[in-house]
Chains A and B, each alone.
Chain A
Amino acid sequence: MKKGQITITVTIGLVILILTAVIFIQFKTINQTDITSLENMREDELRTEISNFKTKIEEVNGQIKETDATILEYQEAINSNKQASELLVKELEKQNNLLGKNDVQGSGVIVTLTDTRAQKINSEDLRTLLNELKLAGAEAISINGQRIVYDSYIVDIESTFISVNGVGLVSPYEVKAIGDPTYLESGLSKKQYGYIDTKLEEGKDVTLQRQDNIVINKYNGDLNMEYAN
């Protein structure tokens, strides 16, 4: 073989070697590269991506605004709920006061009825007194600590004691009433036909006392209705 031919053969072999090596490097590079990753994107692809992201950001900003508005609405609703619940609490307290389920205090009178040797105080005396007090505008009444509520009852138990709200009471009976003290006092102590004068005439011991700060305890029993709806 000629020397020139060997040179040509070797050179062509080398050239083919280089070409194949480069081609395979390129194959490997393309295979291993993650085309979707940002670092490997071409410029125009990056541009598209950026504009996509801008659109997305705008969308998200819009969503944020909407969400903020919703949050604001909810907060307003919460505030109005708070107001409503405050109103409800006030209303509940008022109703409880009316029902006698709260301790109340205020100015009023204390009427004390005591048994004497001659006369015993009976339930009729107390019922009349209650009516008189209510007529004079009493707002809260209790007898020996027993609060008078809408279903309270006052009955004699075999003339030994008086049952109020199912609790037996004995003399002296201390009747507390909160209301306008002047009305209460004048209502009870009318001349001759007034309650106090009548009872004193019957020989029963009745005393009346004005007081500025009377505390009347709440009703201890249950207030339930079973049949009335």
Chain B
Amino acid sequence: MIIIAIVIGCVLGAIIGLNAPTISYTYSGYLAIAIVAALDSVFGGLTSVLKGNFNLKIFLSGFFGNAILSMLLTWLGVKLNVDIYLAAIVVFVGRMFTNLAIIRRYYIEKWSKKEVKEEIKNENEKKTMG
């Protein structure tokens, strides 16, 4: 059910995005940072779903809060003449990799457990046959 919602959201979002007016190039930097932050939140959400402690409120507040905060930081960096957006990117992308690693390990462990179970099953069957 959730997967269907995600697919529908992706397709509709792509259509809307392709038809929406473009924004000024000056602000595209802020938008890029917001996108990275949102992606980080999405991966974080996926990880929490796998861990079983997914909370919609935390997910939503992280999604929008991180995006807005990163945009504000970028703006502040421009005003201070410091490339703060680099720090935001490092943090968010680092966390994305961490979350991806967690997801990857989860599925690999699950898959290998299945194999082990099947082997045990097969052996049991052989024993009963014999």
Point out residues on A near B: beta carbons under 8 Å: 1, 5, 7-30, 32-33, 39-40
Contacts and interface: CB of A to CB of B under 8 A. Distances in A.
Contacts, number: 98
Given A13-B9, A33-B25, A23 B17 contact: yes
B1 interface: yes
B1 to A, nearest CB: 5
Interface residues of B, number: 31
Contacts of A39: 25
Interface of B: 1-2, 5-6, 8-10, 12-14, 16-18, 20, 22-23, 25-26, 28, 31-32, 34-35, 38-39, 42, 45, 56, 59-60, 63
Contact of A28 (B5, B18, B34, B35): B18
Query: Main SS of chain B's interface residues?
Result: helix
Contacts of A21: 12-14, 16-17, 20
B79 to A, nearest CB: 12
Contact of A22 (B9, B31, B60): B31
Contacts of B31: 22, 25-26, 29
B17 A22 contact: yes
Nearest to B23: A29
B56 A20 contact: no
Interface centre among B9, B28, B31 (most CB of A within 10 A): B9
Contacts of B23: 25, 29
Contacts of B45: 12
Contact of B35 (A11, A15, A26): A26
Contacts of B1: 1, 5, 9
B10 A15 contact: no
15 contacts: A11-B60, A13-B6, A16-B5, A17-B8, A17-B9, A19-B13, A20-B10, A20-B12, A21-B12, A22-B17, A23-B35, A24-B20, A25-B23, A29-B22, A39-B25
Contacts of B63: 15
A20 B14 contact: yes
B32 A24 contact: no
Contacts of A16: 5-6, 9-10, 13, 42
Contacts of A28: 17-18, 20, 22
A33 B59 CA distance: 33
A19 B26 CA distance: 20
Contacts of A12: 2, 5-6, 9, 45, 59
